[in-house]
């Protein structure tokens, strides 16, 4: 079989609009509930309001990821690896996971498989 041209190590899926994946920053006083644009076992793309401009590449963050439905929320640590284009309203931050507990990883895998079956794989 020919090797895939896709350089991603993990399948990345896009949450459904009516069942968003919520992201809560740990250790901040900000009350914003952010939303995931996409996620995989390796990381998450976070949509954030433009006032998160103080985030920098390689900054370490801790987040609580709230998966929809019957799956448990999980804590994850990560590093900001990408800052996408920003509009006046929001920016996109790519966070590479550095630590997720076994239960969180298991539930995330279940969620990814569900989204794959629905055809919600990011290109």
pLDDT score of 5: 42
Instruction: Spell out the residues 6+ positions from residue 36 whose beta carbon is closer than 8 angstroms to its own.
Output: 15, 20, 21, 22, 23, 44, 45, 46, 47, 65
For residue 109 the two structure tokens come to 């895998």
For the chain, which domains are there? 12-118 (2.40.10.220)
pLDDT score of 28: 61
Instruction: Spell out the residues 6+ positions from residue 47 whose beta carbon is closer than 8 angstroms to its own.
Output: 34, 35, 36, 37, 90, 91, 92
For residue 4 the two structure tokens come to 């895939």
**One pLDDT digit (tens) per residue for the chain, 123 residues:** 344 445 668 999 999 999 999 998 876 655 578 999 999 999 999 988 765 666 778 888 899 999 999 999 999 999 988 877 666 667 788 999 999 999 999 999 999 999 999 999 998
3-state secondary structure of 36: strand
Nearest to 80 by CA among 105, 103, 101, 52: 52
Q: Which residues pair with 63 in a beta bridge?
A: 25, 76
């Amino acid at each position: 079989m020919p090797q895939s041209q896709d350089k991603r190590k993990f399948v990345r899926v896009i949450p459904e609009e009516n069942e968003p994946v919520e992201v809560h920053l740990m250790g901040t006083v900000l009350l914003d509930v952010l939303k995931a644009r996409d996620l995989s076992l390796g990381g998450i793309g976070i949509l954030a309001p433009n006032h998160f401009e103080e985030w920098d590449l390689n900054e370490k963050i801790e987040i609580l990821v709230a998966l929809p439905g019957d799956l448990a929320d999980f804590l994850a640590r990560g590093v900001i690896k990408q800052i996408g284009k920003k509009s006046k309203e929001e920016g996109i931050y790519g966070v590479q996971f550095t630590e997720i507990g076994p239960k969180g990883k298991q539930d995330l895998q279940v969620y990814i498989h569900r989204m794959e079956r629905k055809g919600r794989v990011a290109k």
